[in-house]
Amino acid sequence: MNPDDLNMGWCVGRTKPFSWLGQRGMNREDCLRDDRKQLVGLKPIDPNKWLPEGAQLVFDPKQSIPMTMVGHVTSSYAANSLGYSFAMGVVKGGLKRMGERVFSPQADGSVIEAEIVSSVFFDPKGDRQNVE
């Protein structure tokens, strides 16, 4: 597995000539599966809607009940500085699904559509840290 496939892969030195804390856990078969749930950002298509925390996620909102759940929302925020709400969630194979749509069926029968995006919403290039 390429360390860049991990959310924090850039900070893991996998080429060390010795064992390190976390190595055994990160190399477990279950952690290396491509379809495991991975942390991603979620941006609602309608900027006036927000995804409730704990909401289940599906790829096909028209499937019959019981729906195949592919993840859930872990946290949700209203961001006036961004002009839209955003959320964090875990989605099966999420890192390879950037730009794809996911749907959150609500108890009232409505569905909130969101785009799978990077988990970095504010200042993704890090420009704010380079103020002189």
The 10s digit of each residue's pLDDT in 83-124 is: 788 999 999 998 899 999 999 999 999 999 999 998 777 766
The model carries a pTM of 0.73
Give the domain 34-120 fold.
Elongation Factor Tu (Ef-tu); domain 3 (2.40.30)
Q: How far apart, in whole angstroms, are the C-alpha atoms of residue 72 and residue 85?
A: 16
Extents of the domains making up the chain: 34-120
Nearest to residue 78, comparing CAs of 51, 115, 117, 54?
Answer: 51
57: β partners? 71
Structure-token pair, residue 109? 């029968």
pLDDT at residue 80 tops 80: no
The beta-strand segments (E) located in 26-69 are 37-44, 56-57
pLDDT at residue 4 tops 60: no
Q: In what order do the strands lie in the sheet with 71-79?
A: 56-57, 71-79, 84-92, 37-44, 111-117, 101-105
Q: How far apart, in whole angstroms, are the C-alpha atoms of residue 82 and residue 17?
A: 44
- Report the share of the chain in percent with pLDDT over 70: 83
